[in-house]
Structure 1
Amino acid sequence: MLYLEDLNVGDQFQSREYEITLEEILDFAQKYDPQVFHTDPEKAKNHPIFKGIAASGWHTSAIVMRLWTECFPVAYGLIGSDSNLRWPRPTRAGDKISVEVEIVSITPSKTKADRGIVSYITQAKNQNGDILLISTTKIVVFNRHFQEN
């Protein structure tokens, strides 16, 4: 587990690859984002932007969350306080998604000495190096002296 004092600006973390399937894309979309370009392969072919089935951006984000938890093991979890994200390219069935995380700032709390805010940039890429998701995220990270009450 990583604590605040283990982290430095410039630290980088790399995830494993995760291959997304058509079945997963359709299942997620039916439950959470039922738009034709996520749910109907035939109709999606004629979409002016996607020209075929694309995973929901929220599905891509959920996969990124899973990969974050595996490659960036922060003590007490990845407790988000802010995030800004973009999906510059659609995620497609068969894409092998991997995540690169780079810490860009660490700000100790002014009111709670046992924690700070860590800001990092994430790039989720497919097997060709195409960026599927890019985000800047802030999380609360505790130091080793945190006292659970």
Structure 2
Amino acid sequence: MLYLEDLNVGDQFKSREYEITLAEVLDFAQKYDPQVFHTDPEKAKDHPIFKGLAASGWHTSAIVMRLWTECFPVAYGLIGSDSSLRWPRPTRVGDKISVEVEIVSITPSKTKTDRGIVSYITQAKNQHQDVLLISTTKIMVFKKDFDKV
């Protein structure tokens, strides 16, 4: 597990690959984002932007969350305080998604000396190195002795 003292600006973390399947694209879309370009491979072919079935951006984000938890093991979890994200390219069935995280700032709390805010940039890429998601995220990270303060 990583604590605030273990992290430095410029630290990088890389995940394993995760292959997205047709079944999970359709299942996620039916439950959470039921738009035709996510739910119907035939009708999606006629979409003017996607020109084929595309996974929901929220599905891609959920996969990124899973990969974050595996490659960026922050003590007591990834407790988010802010995030912005973009999906520059659609995620497609068969894409092998991996994430790269880079810490860009660390700000110790002035009022709660047992923690700080860590900002990092994530790029989720497919097997061709196409960027599918870019996010800037801030999380709260505790110091090793936070429960003693």
TM-score by length of 1: 0.99
Alignment length, in residue pairs? 149
Q: Which consecutive unaligned segments of at least 5 residues does structure 1 have?
A: none
Which residue number corresponds to residue 47 of structure 1? 47
Which residue number corresponds to residue 21 of structure 2? 21
Shift of 1:148: 7.4
1:24-83 Cα deviation digits (max 9, x unpaired): 100000000000000001100000000000000000000000000000000000000000
Which residue number corresponds to residue 95 of structure 1? 95
Indicate how the Cα distance of structure 1 residues 31 and 5 shifts in structure 2: closer, same or farther if over 3 A, else same.
same
Question: What is the aligned-residue identity percentage?
Answer: 88
> Secondary structure in 2 aligned to 1:147?
helix
Which residue number corresponds to residue 76 of structure 2? 76
Q: How does 1:1-149 map to 2 (within 5 A)?
A: 1-147=1-147
- What CA distance in whole angstroms lies between the structure 2 residues aligned with 1:57 and 1:110? 36
- What CA distance in whole angstroms lies between the structure 1 residues aligned with 2:87 and 2:80? 19
1:92-118 Cα deviation digits (max 9, x unpaired): 000000000000000000110000000
> Secondary structure in 2 aligned to 1:75?
coil
> Secondary structure in 1 aligned to 2:105?
strand
TM-score by length of 2: 0.99
- What CA distance in whole angstroms lies between the structure 2 residues aligned with 1:130 and 1:148? 45
The residue type equivalent to 1:58 in the other structure is: W
The residue type equivalent to 2:100 in the other structure is: E
